[in-house]
Structure 1
Amino acid sequence: MKKQFLKRERINDRLARVYDYPLTIVEAPMGYGKTTAVREFLETKEIKSIWVTFQPENGSADYKWSKVCDEISKWDRDTGETLKQLGFPVDVPQMDQVLSVLNTVITDEPLFMVLDDYHLTDYEPLNRLIELIVTERIENFYLIIVTRNTGNLNSAELVAKGFCNWITQEVLKFTEVEVRDYCIMMMETISEKDLRKITEYAGGWITLTYMLLLGLEKGIPVGMNMTIDELISLTLFSVYDALTQKYLIKLSIMDRFTAEQAQFITGESQTADILRKMKKENSFIYFDEVNKTYQIHFVLLDFLRSKQNLLADEKKALYIRLGEWYLDKLNFPKAYASFYRAGEIRRILEHLNNPQNISSEMAVFEGSQEMFEKTPLNVLYHYPMAYLLHILVCLFHGNERTAIGSRRQLDQLEQFYNKQDGIDQTYRNRILAEINIVKRFTVFNHIEESTVTNDLIIKLLDGEQSYIMRKENEFTFGSPHLSYNYFREPGRYQKTVQLIVEKVPVYSQFTSGCGTGSEYQARAEYSLETGNWAEAELNGEKAIFKARTKDQHSIVICGNFVLIRLMILQGRITAALNRLRDLEKEILEVRNPIYNTTMDICKGYVYANLEQTEMIPYWLQVGDMTTADLLYQGVALNYLVYGKAVAASRNFVKLEILSESFIEYFSIYHNQLGIIHNGIFKAIAKYNLYGIEAGINALNKILGEAYLDGIIMPFVENAPFLIVMLREINDRQPKDQFIRWLLSVSEVYLKNLKNEELSRVSLTLREQEVLRLTAEGLKREEIAKRLYIAPGTVKTHLQNVYKKLEVNGKNAAIKTALKNGLLFAENEKD
């Protein structure tokens, strides 16, 4: 039966509404023609589109993101590469970076991105990213999701808010008239009786309708009592000879494939001809002209996979061939997944054990966790680099319990290699060194414990560099304050810094330079927090210069953070902000999402000190954190900045409540500087809500802890809120030199803030008009008509707003403007 498509104007008219919404969801069970309807509509209308089809695999989020970026690159190479380098965005600041890239895309024609089989990627951060993109209403950018179900995507709310055009099964299923038209188109001689039976039996399900017609063509009466599988077998499978049937079953180990790939896997020399013939004859085998790949419809694919037991002896060989194909194409996650299905565990471990293949991204693939859990230890011990890489990945994404379990695994591995006879001593030393390097992460932020094996590691490596840790690894875990990570106990700040100075630089000696400059950085931070301004400046500059010799961007950020805070203290505010902007420009070019988050934390801290709340990144203004990513959002320093933002906005009720909850986050790694700041938040809230005595009682408690280390900077930077209490405490305790000194520096700080007082960010009337109309949902051209200006002028005004507010898109600009009173209501403009 010749493959044909019925043009349904009813569906095309509904799909034509895609221009009215940033998101269209086409949702129905398998076999209702979802993909066909969208593809035919786009092709008929000659609409430019980026088409991404998800596969039923459990690959890493970064792997799936890479696939999306590859499709975007076919349309715009620079945009695709930039998004790929940023990696999959797992939290708000990283999603903001993706939004920034998409907002800079200039296209005069509508661009559609289709996410086909979206139900196969049930990943909550992706749902959040979709919602963020949709609510942003990026000009000329539209999303179409084709799915069997919307899962956890908040589709109902998006529809309610007018962001989504939702096309359901009820809309997609064929009407009686459409079923009749389709049947007559496919089989002109069909009887009225068979037409009625097909209409009743298929219920508008086009896939079943097609199979019934195939059966009718082969003499199978409509309504014959048989299962769907039996119908598929009779109409789509049994029509082929035994060799072709076997060939189809072999192909079903893949979700999609090129002709070249199919020939390599199956060994069938006539593959190209067979596939071309099938594509013409069988509506269930589709060819993607853009990507030059074949795909078997899931109805047929599920049937074929149920038959794979027919090839039990050959199945392993097929998956091995598939793994070899992906290995040759350097697609390691898919190669490993294929080898795992083939039971080729040792082959995966051998490849991962190669020093050239060691990276945390490669240790995560479909089935990886299960593989390492089920593989006997005596096997894993023979592939130590692969095993260590897996342990490291677990440590980075785990918790305290994970660290305890990982420590036990590492001790056992170390014991094995210490006792193992008959192995090369250099190789033994290498493994023992790498074990001790990974052990450091089981005692994260315990500086003495984590550095106790430094000399042993250097001795074992004998001048060589680590395979596991390299200079590319992020060193400060998203924190712009190195010593903040390690300072755990009151009274031990100087000792902690001294240990960093003595012990941490050794780390860079066996990691190709990772952490270079940390000794100067720790000195700079200690000097700043305790009031030695000259040493802070000198060591900050040294840290930056030394870090740049090994491209240690996290230390460069930390060094600049010290200098920027110091410059504000000295009243050089404009110079400080210029340095901040230059630093941000430099870091953005690195295209690393963790560094970008670190920059957000820097900006939030600085602008909170200057009480420019509108310039604080919006996620830090409202506390939109992902606690699962705590380690990579500054080790709870993000909560510190959130508290400063709330204080700067003078929401003292909220600040009091937050100060009670923040302690939970600062206690995870016992960040003493975080605890001091939290005590300050509590004092500020108490003073403003309950009076000076309540405030002083709270402030004295935290001053007592800070005194043990001579820490003054957190109090000085909060002088606008603390000065009245500090003056009162000084009057009551005139002989307290610590308080007298702290008050003296605070008075100078306040004076310097006033000497170079910054003007509040403001928007022009026209900018406010444009932003208000944008908030109402108007598009650029609609705004232009309303205000009698050119669409290009609207875009310019929006770009100016983004620049003033230092945001990445419309949503953030609107929220920031509203929260900070920069956007008037229409009836207020007069």
Structure 2
Amino acid sequence: MYKQNNNRGLYFSEKITESMNGIFNYPLTIVEAPMGYGKTIAVREHLNFAHANVLWQKIYDSSINSFWNDLCFLFSKINSNCAQSLARLGFPFDRLSMREVLKLIEEVEIPEKTVLFIDDYHHLNGTEVGRFIEFLVINEIDRFHIVLTARFIDFPNIEELTLKGYLLYIRKDHLELVPNEIVKYYSACGVSINNSDAEKLYATTEGWISALYLLLINYKTEGRFLTTNSIYKLVDNAIYKPLAQEVKDFLIHMCIFDSFTKTQAVFVWENEEANLFLEDITRKNLFVNYNINTKSYHIHHIFINFLQNILAEKDASYKEKLNKRAGDWYLKNNEYLAAMHYFYKVGDFENLLLAVELDKGESFYLEHKEVIIKYFEECPYEYKQDNLVALLVYAMTLIRFNEMSLFPKVYEEVTLLIQSSSLNPVSMNNLMGELEFVKSFTRYNHIMGMSEHLKKACKLMNRPSVFINTKSIWTFGSPSVLHLFYRESGKLEQEVHAMKEMMPYYYQLTNGHGMGSEYVMEAEWYYNKGDFENAEIAINKAQVQANIIFQPNIVISALFLQIKLTLVKGDYAHVRYLFNKMHEEIVESQLYPLMYTIDMCVGFVNACLRQDRKIPEWLTEGTFNSSHLFFPARAFSNIILGRFFLIKGEYLKLLGNVEYFITIASIFPSILAKIYTMIYVAAAEEHIFRRSEAIEALKKALDMAVTDKVYMPFVENCDYIQPLLDALYLHDIYREHIKQILAIYKPYHNSMEQIISRYFIESKPNLTKREEEIAQLAAEGYSNKRIGERLYISPNTVKTQLKSVYEKMGVNSRFLLKQYFDENPRM
């Protein structure tokens, strides 16, 4: 019999309680079970009972960008500065950015028993998020634990993580209720049943708690248990039918959202009573839950699917009004992508294009490419005619997406629409100027070609462009402006002057975006000729200009050239100081993609110093993620990779990569990258005793370089090609140019050898025997808990000793520790 009306009685079996008691003993816990097994409630209640500091994150789709934005929001509750830094850094697709995330989190005082609870993780299966979580887990952040709940899990290295003591893995069988547990669960809800009833319920539900709950509700309504295969019929009878009509209507309105807030519910339903309904529904019914952290409501998957089936049967006007109201809500709250989604569902292209105009493309990532193109492909002509700025945003977005096959069609369409509009002359000229500005990017790195469009845009416009964010990275992450714009052999001086002529027009249109870049290019021109004095004058001009409106990417390019000039002088202490200034630029600007720029600077310098172990690993692997290394910077990264192959003696591998290097350097033509590549080919051919091929390759490099007096690529690699230069000199081939190269090389060589001998003598870290044991096990991937078990010491002792190891070895993570042991196997 049933004792009281208590539908919210919570019951947790001993096996699930015992399992979850281990959450705080592991960096990672995974709770895996199909829908309706009470994963979320079990984790939530256990963490509440343990007084944990919970960062609860519900996952609704596979968008990495959405995952990262939500995660940054959660971290703002611990430290707002950290959250802002994480947001600017962006999702970490590679080890460099993962280490930066780790550093940011470890610098924050994490409260005791902090748990990042990622609910419905299965939506992120197969994405890079798993690799990122694994990285955090194996680095064991103090007082920080991660819990994932998922219907099914596809997580990297589950067996290894379990074996090494990082992972607590809770499966479906822990959450199933067997007959004696069903008796206890029903009792907690005010219903007494006997063992026979419990056996029948178990046979019907196989311990699935959602079905048990629905049968419970049905029992309270009709006084008997029904066995049915239709879960929706149970939902209908037990949950939906007893509700008042107003409540039903309210829930149907809300079922179009994955989650919603009180103010959102009031706005969309257009009724202040939504507040009262929400309080009543959540108090009485487990199928609508409230998340106190995000202050939002979530309808259970079973119930939301049921409600959506009812919505599908409503007439078109009902659904149109509902989706239109949802779009208005998101537009009002500056969530433009979500607004576009709902406006598109009802064919409201006027408001969809308004959302595009307001967003300016800032929310459009590569993962949104197909849907953005679909919106504009299906947009009726009459709406485009009245929303020309949105079309300009779309045209610029196509260039960003590298959809150049679509761009001409859109460009022609926008041109005709502007010309046929009834705008006043000033407005029409501004839009035609915007179009010219957009088109300049189709001629990227052709200075004269870009300049033509920019001049036309300036003549037409009486205001700056609406498209460019002056805080975006003008250099695309390249440390060298010359590398980006030196595209034609024999015309370098002309290109330097053309750049100085073009940039004032660009600055006029963008409020100074990239300020100082023309002086960086000029300084690099002087440097490559060996005119270090004029290079230093020009680079100081660049820094003054870049600091006027704070252009950190230009400052870093200027500092990189200063570092190269300082290497020539042999002053490595000042090189270190300049690298510190680079890092300060990132901290101040929080433009974290510039980490990759700095890494390329570090890689280039260490390649010059033949310190192959100190070149960042992502550069030596030759694999790059498009989210962080923009394409125009790729050819520069290959300059570093080619030199790395030489240092390692991997001559055949280098020659096998030449075609790839040249292909990358030809897309946005970079003569500088091609010169370096042919120098590397010459060095590799010489080292495999193919002198004639080596001479031929070096001649090709000289053919491209000497008409512009680009000497420094040869100087920087003279340690590999000097015999070849000597041979060409004896045969009177480019004799005067080679003479100049060798004259510059002599002091350069002395400076580099002096730096190497003083700063790069290997020394073994002075670890105790116990520290060595701990370091080896940590490098092999074992958690502090498992290391303690193996060495019969406490996890806290392991943590203390490991901190000492890090300090002595100059590393700050298990990842770097492993890297050290891989490079020094006989420590």
TM over 0.5: yes
| CA distance in structure 1 between the aligned counterparts of 2:200 and 2:15, rounded to whole angstroms | 24
Q: Distance in 2 between matches of 1:235 and 1:242?
A: 15
Aligned counterparts of 1:656 and 1:644: Cα–Cα separation in 2: 12
- Cα deviations across residues 492-513 of structure 1 (Å, max 9, x unaligned)? 3333323222223321121100
Corresponding position: 1:262 with 2:262: no
SS of 1:264's equivalent?
A: helix
User: Partner of 2:766 in structure 1?
Assistant: 765
* Whole-angstrom distance in 2 between the partners of 1:128 and 1:667: 33
Matches within 5 A, 1:371-770: 371-398=375-402, 402-420=403-421, 422-462=422-462, 464-627=463-626, 630-631=629-630, 634-690=633-689, 695-733=694-732, 736-757=735-756, 758-760=758-760, 762=763, 764-766=765-767, 769=772
Conserved? CA contact 2:164–2:786, under 8 Å: no
Note closer, same or farther for the CA distance 1:653–1:671 as it changes in structure 2 (3 Å cut).
Answer: same
- In the TM superposition, what is the alpha-carbon distance from 1:342 to its structure 2 partner? 4.1
Distance 1:532 1:20, change over 3 A: same
Larger deviation, residues 604-613 vs 331-340: 331-340
Work out whether residues 352 and 363 of structure 1, in 8 Å CA contact, stay in contact via their aligned partners in 2: no
User: By how many angstroms is 1:558 displaced?
Assistant: 1.4
Q: Which amino acid aligns with 1:148?
A: R
Structure 1 position 553, deviation (Å): 1.7
| Whole-Å separation in 1 of the counterparts to 2:374 and 2:434 | 24
Structure-1 separation of matches of 2:130 and 2:84: 22
TM superposition shift of 1:675: 1.8
Which residue among 343, 348, 351 is the counterpart of 1:344? 348
Determine whether 1:360 maps to 2:362. yes
Q: How much does 1:478 deviate?
A: 0.8
1:73-105 residue CA offsets vs partner (Å, 9 max, x unmatched): 112222222212223334554333223212323
User: Which of 132, 136, 139 is matched with 2:139 structurally?
Assistant: 136
* Larger mean Cα displacement after TM superposition, 405-414 or 105-114: 105-114
- Paired position in structure 2 for 1:331: 335
Match of 1:127 in 2: 130
Is 2:21 the partner of 1:16? Answer: yes
What is the Cα deviation at residue 674 of structure 1?
1.5
Deviation, structure 1 residue 715: 1.8
State whether structure 2 residue 125 is matched by structure 1 residue 116: no
Structure 1: runs of 5 or more not aligned: 826-830
1:301 and 2:304 correspond = yes
Matches of 1:670 and 1:220 in 2, distance apart? 79
1: CA distance, partners of 2:632 / 2:670: 14
User: What's the counterpart of residue 174 of structure 2?
Assistant: 171
1:4-83 matches, within 5 Å, as: 4-56=9-61, 61-83=64-86
Say which of 233, 236, 241 aligns to 2:236.
Answer: 233
- Which deviates further from its counterpart, 160-169 or 265-274? 160-169
Deviation digits for residues 732-774 of structure 1 (CA, Å, limit 9, x no counterpart): 4487112222222222211121234342264632397364353
Cα 1:517–1:189 change in 2 (3 A) is closer
What is the alpha-carbon distance in structure 2 between the residues aligned to residue 23 and residue 689 of structure 1? 50
Q: CA deviation at 1:489?
A: 3.2
Q: How many residues align?
A: 811
- Counterpart contact for 2:55–2:116, Cα < 8 Å: yes
| Alpha-carbon contact 1:548-1:556 (below 8 Å) kept | yes
* Identity among equivalent pairs (%): 26
* Cα distance change of structure 1 residues 192 and 149 upon mapping to structure 2, 3 Å threshold: closer
Residue pairs, 1:173-322, within 5 angstroms: 173-219=176-222, 222=225, 224-312=227-315, 313-322=317-326
Kindly indicate whether residue 807 of structure 2 is the aligned counterpart of residue 800 of structure 1.
Answer: yes
Q: CA shift at 1:258, angstroms?
A: 2.7
Q: How does 1:803-822 map to 2 (within 5 A)?
A: 804=810, 809-821=812-824
Aligned to 1:148: 151
- Secondary structure at 1:636's aligned position in 2? helix
CA displacement, residues 490-543 of structure 1 (integer Å, 9 cap, x when unaligned): 333333323222223321121100122122111111111222222211111111
Q: Which amino acid aligns with 2:272?
A: S
What is the TM-score when the length of structure 2 is the normalising length? 0.90
1:254-294 per-residue CA deviation (whole Å, 9 max, x = no partner) reads: 22223333223223333333222222221112122333322
Secondary structure of the 2:549 match is coil
Contact 2:166 2:783 (C-alpha < 8 Å) held by counterparts? no
Separation in 1, partners of 2:435, 2:223: 67
Unaligned segments of structure 2, at least 5 residues:
none
Distance, in Å, in 2 between the alignment partners of 1:732 and 1:13 is 83
The 8 Å contact of residues 680 and 699 in structure 1, kept in 2 or not, is answered as: yes
The answer to whether the 8 A contact 2:183-2:195 is kept is no
Letter in 1 for 2:600: I
| Residue type of the alignment partner of 2:322 | L
Mean Cα deviation higher: 243-252 or 96-105: 96-105
| Alignment deviations for residues 683-702 of structure 1 (CA, whole Å, 9 cap, x no partner) | 33333344655544443333
Opposite residue 432 of structure 1, the aligned amino acid is: M
Using the alignment, how far apart are the partners of 1:604 and 1:633 within structure 2?
18
| Conserved? CA contact 1:333–1:364, under 8 Å | no
C-alpha distance in 2 between matches for 1:789 and 1:219: 58
Relative to structure 1, the CA distance from residue 24 to residue 54 in structure 2 (aligned partners, 3 Å threshold; closer, same or farther) is same
Task: Give 1:181's aligned amino acid.
Answer: K
How far does the alpha carbon of each residue in 1:460-501 deviate from its partner, in whole angstroms, 9 at most, with x for none?
113x21111242232111111112112233333333323222
Equivalent residue number for residue 828 of structure 1: none
Whether the 8 Å CA contact 2:778–2:814 is kept in 1: the answer is no
Classify 1:140/1:689 alpha carbon distance in 2 versus 1 (closer, same or farther; 3 Å).
farther
CA contact 2:164–2:783 (8 Å) conserved in 1: no
Q: Amino acid of the residue matched to residue 800 of structure 1? A: E
CA, structure 1 residues 824+21, in 2 after alignment: closer, same or farther (shift >3 Å)?
farther
- Judge conservation of contact 1:781–1:791 (CA < 8 Å) in 2: no
Give CA deviations for 1:441-470 in whole Å, capped at 9, x if unaligned.
2222222222212221111113x2111124
Q: CA RMSD in A?
A: 3.1
For the residue of structure 2 that corresponds to 1:466, the secondary structure is: coil
Aligned residues of 1:518 and 1:543 also touching (Cα < 8 A): yes
Point out the more displaced range, 583-592 or 264-273: 264-273
What's the secondary structure of 1:166's corresponding residue?
strand
Letter in 2 for 1:444: Y
User: How far did residue 562 of structure 1 move?
Assistant: 1.4
Residue deviations 1:575-597 (CA, integer Å, cap 9, x gap): 22321222222223211122222
